[in-house]
Chain A
Amino acid sequence: AAGVIQSPRHLIKEKRETATLKCYPIPRHDTVYWYQQGPGQDPQFLISFYEKMQSDKGSIPDRFSAQQFSDYHSELNMSSLELGDSALYFCASSLERSGANVLTFGAGSRLTVL
């Protein structure tokens, strides 16, 4: 079965640079979620999209932005990178914006800021 695809899997950037992470949800899934997991921490919700519109917003810094495109893939753009942005970024997708639907997570994109 198709899973959630994230790219790149690993990314190394310098401080103040920009990074873009991509997420391809499971086919027919209409909701995408982004999470940030710092070292030794639990995943923190950043933002979600339902049918290409932002549906919920969590602890996402103003330096970050995201969008969902017509083909339902999503991109997380991070600018003016800081050392503290080093983390594992997960994308998850689900069908319909409901707690009864299970989120399927991708393998994550590991961002290292030097």
Chain B
Amino acid sequence: AQSVTQLDSQVPVFEEAPVELRCNYSSSVSVYLFWYVQYPNQGLQLLLKYLSGSTLVESINGFEAEFNKSQTSFHLRKPSVHISDTAEYFCAVSNTGKLIFGQGTTLQVKP
């Protein structure tokens, strides 16, 4: 069985500051890792994914995440956040198709 732990339930940060949202996973088999973003009153949107290859993956809006197998982590980072990045971020793991989500981290960007 797989599980995901997001270590921070809320992360407040000022605009243009860097941010890291932490994610650790547990699995006895190889998995695929994902970050989804949920804006208020909206659905889940894929932010980025690690399937294989380079352990550093990037999104089109400046986020990146690094797969670290030895530490079983997939932390999400952005060097400079914007107000519009305020949302709920979910880390997820999969190896059989269905996604297992973490508890979510609320990123609150302040002006």
Contacts and interface: CB of A to CB of B under 8 A. Distances in A.
Interface of A: 31, 33, 41-45, 48, 50, 55-56, 58, 90, 92, 94, 97-108
B97 A42 contact: no
Interface in B71-104: 90, 94-104
Contact of A43 (B34, B42, B44, B96): B44
20 contacts: A33-B97, A33-B98, A33-B99, A41-B103, A42-B101, A42-B102, A45-B98, A45-B99, A48-B98, A92-B44, A92-B99, A94-B97, A97-B97, A99-B31, A99-B94, A99-B97, A100-B51, A101-B97, A106-B43, A108-B42
Contacts of B34: 102
B32 to A, nearest CB: 4
